[in-house]
Structure 1
Amino acid sequence: MDIKMDRKVKAWVPPEKIWNVWFISIFFINMALNFGQYMSNSLLSLYAKEMGAPAEQIGMLMSMFAITALIFRFVAGPAINAYNRKIIVAMAMGCMASAYFGFCLAPEIAVFMGVKVINVLKCFRLLQGVGSAFAGSCCLTIVADVIPREQFSSGMGIFACAQVVAQAVGPTVGVCLKDRFGYTTTYFIFGCIMVCAILAASTIRLAPTVRMPFSLKLQNMIAKEAVLPAAVTLLIALGFTSINAFLLVYAQERGIHGASLFFTVYAITMLFTRPVIGRLTDRYGFVKAGIPSVFATAVSLAMIGFSTNLPMLLLAAFVNAFGYGAVMPALQSLCMRAVSLERRGSASSTNYIGQDLATLIGSTTAGYVIAAAGYTPFMWIIMAVPVLLGILVIFLCRKKIYRIENNFKSGR
């Protein structure tokens, strides 16, 4: 194999604590990435509607992001393995910045080119999906490089809190900026945040790694060593996507008011659960720490189904934060532990492919379940089935998981 090695091997000193300067930089980049996406996603459909786009075109605009991101995950892994990760994350954030500046200038570009504004928005939405595919995978790869080995899961749990904060306040901040300054200035601010993330990328220093040649072969696009945790991720996320898609509608059908507080309680609780489950995973291993969390996810889905008032629904959110919210960073950690340093790009992409597939499949599956069973507790029981299958997979494959963790601890 034709490989390249960083020349500054002797100069590299592994970090001794989680909150080192490189971790702080990649944490900021990840937060900027997620803030931009959550703020933008809450506004883009409204922006397109104000520009006169019909409903079906708005739906296409919103779905293009997930499809594009999924497709380019398969390219991101080999690229991250082959090229400088700092440059890749900077270029990916550059794509995100260009997309937001494009949204800002969409009406002017449409007039200049003589096309509809919705078509301009679609082009920049595609660019946003490409940037997200590379940035998300690259951030996960880089953070795995700058976390102390003995605190690996704890560090991944803390890193994942950036997404929690963005999810909790991003949409609200986006709407407030839009109400105060308008769409154009708001998207310009998003673009400037991405530029700051590019500058942060320049401060990161990475461990020397063996660089693999770029190749779009299956073994480079998907890390077979990480398929097990990615498959568990897919099963668990299938259940959770039904919450994002149908919780508010279900609550409305059941006469529960204030259901949007579910996501607030869920996000706030995750700020505690993610670092805690990370520490437990470092100490006791994924099987002992992960199975209770996955079970909590299934329990929370059943609790949603049988909720008749807001306090019961918020209790389900609290339980879910100990479940899905806490176990996902632990699964990401397991993905990264499963591969050698130079294949972490493929592992991170494999992890996100599992999540993307769950997003695309889960909502559709839940829709068919609702069509057959209606908005009843039974629909949530059905959506808990793949989560319970995830527990079965973890139990049956526990020896392989132990082997992954032991190999990582021994440096193999």
Structure 2
Amino acid sequence: HGFGFGTSATVIAASVMSMIPPARRAEGTGYFGISGTIATAIGPLLALTIADRFSYDALFITASVVALLALLVALTITFPEREVSQAEREAKWSLSLGTLVDAHTVPVASIMLLAGFAYSGVLSFLANYAQQADLVSSASLFFLVYAIAVFISRLFIGRIQDRRGDNIVIYPIFASFVAGFVMLGVSSQAWHILLAAVFMGFGFGALMPALQSVITAKSPLPRVGLATATFFLMLDIGTGIGPIVLGLAIPHLGYHGMYFLLADIIVVAAALYAAVHGRFARTA
């Protein structure tokens, strides 16, 4: 499952990135990301419903059928093939760090490592936090509100980024991300958590396509696939180690303290963006 999902997500994203016209790269990346947003909003709800009303066997059968449908759809799609250079043919079986990770992408992709680390605190601990604060009902709506906010953000933020430059959208995205963690840190009522979901949708949800557009623009066409893989690798590292580190920190900081700490980490991520790309970014 990990191999299939990891490779297909990377390959599809890289293929789509290479097809989007440069002048509309951020806009196209946002539209492409909407498909994942819809899936992550509908999928868990559908899965819980099937498991509750029928069985887990029915759930896995349904998932297998959906995967088969995805394969059939994929077989109908033809991506334009670029001409592979002689040097690329000769190096196709070579194995080195440069063939696994795109060094030029690492600085920007490291921002996603920090963002993924921070957002893992929501994915892994929001339910426990809400239970402790007696806000379980609002926590159950968090991801639905988050998905709606992501959907809305990706309809227009990419267009602004293409027309006005990276900084005009990415700095407000960081601000929204920080605001989401601050709201979680101070939350004592249901509307606090739901407002945090809106801020997160316009924060983490909008940050992914915005930075993906940045790394695609900085990469030559033959390296887009490797750059995309590096981007997701750093994101996966962040979301993977986040729950471990934060789980050790919660007994000392508490949930409120943890979310304030994660707000600080996003401030660091914004500073890193300014250092590695923001001060060089184009403006309209």
**In the alignment, what sits opposite 1:130?**
3
1:234 aligned onto 2:234: no
- Unpaired stretches in structure 1, ≥5 consecutive residues: 1-127, 407-412
1:333 aligned onto 2:213: yes
Q: Is the 1:287–1:398 Cα contact (8 Å) retained in structure 2?
A: no
**In the alignment, what sits opposite 1:345?**
225
Q: How far has the Cα of 1:175 moved from its partner?
A: 2.3
Counterparts of 1:261 and 1:165, CA distance in 2? 15
Q: Is the 1:238–1:387 Cα contact (8 Å) retained in structure 2?
A: no
Q: How does 1:13-412 map to 2 (within 5 A)?
A: 128-211=1-84, 212=88, 213-258=92-137, 259-375=139-255, 377-398=256-277, 401-402=280-281
Q: Is the 2:22–2:217 Cα contact (8 Å) retained in structure 1?
A: no
Q: TM-score scaled by structure 1?
A: 0.64
- Compared CA separation, residues 348 and 263, structure 1 to 2 (3 A): same
Counterparts of 2:277 and 2:240, CA distance in 1? 28
Counterparts of 2:58 and 2:188, CA distance in 1? 42
Q: Which digits, 9 at most, give the CA deviation of each residue in 1:364-397, with x for residues without a partner? A: 221122121223x222111122211111011122
Q: Choose 1 or 2 for highest CA Rg.
A: 1
Q: Is the 1:286–1:401 Cα contact (8 Å) retained in structure 2?
A: no
Q: TM-score scaled by structure 2?
A: 0.91
- Compared CA separation, residues 330 and 214, structure 1 to 2 (3 A): farther
Q: How far has the Cα of 1:181 moved from its partner?
A: 4.2
Counterparts of 2:131 and 2:58, CA distance in 1? 34
Counterparts of 2:83 and 2:252, CA distance in 1? 52
Which secondary structure state, in structure 2, belongs to the residue aligned with residue 345 of structure 1?
Answer: helix
Counterparts of 2:254 and 2:278, CA distance in 1? 41
- Unpaired stretches in structure 2, ≥5 consecutive residues: none
Counterparts of 1:364 and 1:179, CA distance in 2? 30
Q: Is the 2:116–2:236 Cα contact (8 Å) retained in structure 1?
A: no
Counterparts of 1:367 and 1:180, CA distance in 2? 33
Counterparts of 2:53 and 2:268, CA distance in 1? 47
Which secondary structure state, in structure 1, belongs to the residue aligned with residue 214 of structure 2?
Answer: helix
Alignment RMSD (CA, Å): 1.9
Counterparts of 1:342 and 1:200, CA distance in 2? 26
Counterparts of 2:269 and 2:47, CA distance in 1? 35
Instruction: Give structure 1 regions of 4+ aligned residues with deviation exceeding 4 angstroms.
Output: none
Counterparts of 1:253 and 1:189, CA distance in 2? 34
Counterparts of 1:218 and 1:401, CA distance in 2? 27
**In the alignment, what sits opposite 1:110?**
none
Q: Which digits, 9 at most, give the CA deviation of each residue in 1:155-192, with x for residues without a partner? A: 11111111111111111111222344433333222222
Task: Report the identity percentage.
Answer: 30
Q: Which digits, 9 at most, give the CA deviation of each residue in 1:291-320, with x for residues without a partner? A: 110121111101101011101111111111
Instruction: Say which is worse superposed, 187-196 or 203-212, in terms of deviation.
Output: 203-212
Q: How far has the Cα of 1:271 moved from its partner?
A: 0.8
Q: Which digits, 9 at most, give the CA deviation of each residue in 1:119-138, with x for residues without a partner? A: xxxxxxxxx01111211110
How many residues end up aligned between the 2 structures?
277
Q: Which digits, 9 at most, give the CA deviation of each residue in 1:98-130, with x for residues without a partner? A: xxxxxxxxxxxxxxxxxxxxxxxxxxxxxx011
